[in-house]
Amino acid sequence: MKQMMIYNTLSRKKEVFVPVHEGKVGIYACGPTVYNYFHIGNARPFIIFDTLRRFMRHLGYEVTFVQNFTDIDDKMIKRANEEGTTVEAIAEKYINEYFKDAAAIGVEKADVHPRATKHIGEIISLIRKLEFKGLAYRVDNGDVYFDTQAWRSNYGRLIGQDLDDLESGARIEVDDIKRHPMDFALWKAKKPGEPFWKSPWGEGRPGWHIECSAMSMKYLGETFDIHCGGVDLIFPHHENEIAQSEGATGKPFAKYWMHNGHINVDNKKMSKSAGNFFTVRDISKEFDPEVVRMFMLSAHYRSPINFSRDLMEQARAGLERLYTARDNAEFALEHAPEREMNDAERAFVARADGFVDRFDDAMCDDLNTSEAMGVLFEYVRDMNTALADANAPCRAVIEAALKALNTMAHEVLGLLMKEADTTPEEVKALVQARVEAKKARNFAEADRLRDEVARLGYVIEDTPKGPKVKKA
């Protein structure tokens, strides 16, 4: 098994990946707060860490991938009140919509999709442990807070600042009920019109940070391999997760922390007020959702990335090159002779294996999809040349070519999602009828059939191996 290097936000350097349990990987990815369709900023971590999971599987690891849904939150309560419905109904609606849009950009379902409201017992248990250890306190209104002063020697490791520096930049209002500016809510007392659950501190609901600690440790253990999310989550969310998790267990929480960079739109920060806020569903009206995935993988995940229509057009063109290479190979396979590979073909197969090896090396270097994509397109050029040889390539060499392409582009990067041959049976029948008409030298009928195929949105390309059909 190849050795992978991961840039660990906690240590601020690349580290050799060594799993907690040999041959297994536990990954926790922060998922969406389900009150709306997810936007392109959300799409980046969904795609990146789906790719991480795919690559870990490709390396031979048994992967357990957990991605949560935050289904109780101030924004959800506001949306429910605006729509005159319940928070639960809002959650159900947008969880279902999440799965539709995630599938469209090639993001596989997690092994577990835990929801905060289904883990209230685990959350309460974790808060009680913190209370027992003197790391949590209840205030008069029923809120419960994490006491950062009691954890001050360990707080700030992920962001790389100590508590004094963080406090100097914080503000505390005169009527603030917290003991210290950096303390954060573990449990929020019930307010009128809000959902609530019973607890030792009275009726209320969990804070945001505590849910991820409770759910990640339930499904992956008190110490697990990789915790990931957007760079905007480093502080305070992930910093607070470390504090409350390690404070409760006395054990290291996640070994490796991976964070993807920001996404801008036309070189400006994405925001609704700037009018450059787009959901994946919005983008899908203009671009195939798979182009979004291609675009996101074109840059290294830790680098900022700029979304623009010009760059999306480049991604679309690159994706079309991959599909054309695959479809040409699939077409050649239909007509390939059964024979032994010749020396040139054997040399190509050896090069194809080498390309996959180089691709793996790029991905092992902190999931460098940008470099890996470069290897993939270099391979596609070589593959196109090899399969276009005047001497029809044999079946074995085409199969090897397709295997290498699919390993890199589909298995690992999650591209080439569409089936190789999606031509409707009606179109296939017309194409075959045209073949028969040409054999009978009925060229007028052949032209009519070609026009009928065009009317249905397809183009016929006549080749020495027979007609090739593709979308117009």
- Quick one: tokens of 296? 């996101």
Contact 53, 108 (CB under 8 A): yes
pLDDT (0 to 100) of residue 423: 73
The residue count for the chain: 472
What CATH number does residue 358 fall under? 1.20.120.640
Q: Is the pLDDT of residue 284 over 90?
A: yes
Q: Do residue 446 and residue 341 come from a single domain? A: no
Q: Read off the pLDDT band of 169 (50, 70, 90).
A: low
Query: CA-to-CA distance for 356 and 401, rounded, in angstroms?
Result: 11
Range of weakest confidence among 77-81, 220-224, 275-279, 460-464? 460-464
Helix axes 309-334, 395-405, angle to 10 degrees: 160
The answer to whether position 436 is within a domain reads: yes
Question: 130-146, pLDDT tens digit by residue?
Answer: 999 999 999 999 999 99
Q: Do residue 24 and residue 129 come from a single domain? A: yes
Range of weakest confidence among 81-85, 175-179, 180-184? 175-179
- Quick one: tokens of 218? 């339930």
**Cα pseudo-dihedral 462, 464, 465, 467, rounded to 10:** 10
Q: Do residue 382 and residue 448 come from a single domain? A: no
pLDDT (0 to 100) of residue 419: 82
The answer to whether position 293 is within a domain reads: no
pLDDT (0 to 100) of residue 465: 66
Radius of gyration of the chain (CA): 27
The answer to whether position 111 is within a domain reads: yes
The answer to whether position 353 is within a domain reads: yes
| DSSP at 69 | B
Sign of CA dihedral 251, 137, 125, 166: negative
Q: Do residue 233 and residue 324 come from a single domain? A: no
Segments forming the whole domain that contains residue 320: 311-412
Q: Do residue 74 and residue 116 come from a single domain? A: yes
What CATH number does residue 99 fall under? 3.40.50.620
Q: Do residue 370 and residue 430 come from a single domain? A: no
Q: Do residue 395 and residue 443 come from a single domain? A: no
Q: Do residue 78 and residue 216 come from a single domain? A: yes
Nearest to 401 by CA among 357, 448, 450, 351: 351
* pLDDT over 70, % of the chain: 97
Q: Read off the pLDDT band of 167 (50, 70, 90).
A: confident
pLDDT (0 to 100) of residue 177: 87
Q: Do residue 359 and residue 440 come from a single domain? A: no
Q: Read off the pLDDT band of 174 (50, 70, 90).
A: very low
* pTM exceeds 0.85: yes
pLDDT (0 to 100) of residue 8: 98
Query: CA-to-CA distance for 42 and 47, rounded, in angstroms?
Result: 9
Report the alpha-carbon angle 130-134-135, nearest 5. 55
Contact 467, 430 (CB under 8 A): no
Q: Do residue 384 and residue 454 come from a single domain? A: no
Q: Is the pLDDT of residue 113 over 90?
A: yes
Question: 406-448, pLDDT tens digit by residue?
Answer: 999 999 999 999 986 667 878 888 888 887 888 888 888 888 9
The answer to whether position 267 is within a domain reads: no
Which of 260, 284, 301 delimits the end of a domain? Answer: 260
Residue tagged 């993988």 (tokens): 297
Q: Do residue 42 and residue 164 come from a single domain? A: yes
Which of 383, 412, 441 delimits the end of a domain? Answer: 412
If one compares 368 and 454, the residue with the highest pLDDT of the two is 368
Q: Do residue 171 and residue 237 come from a single domain? A: yes
Residue tagged 């964070």 (tokens): 259
Domain count across the chain:
3
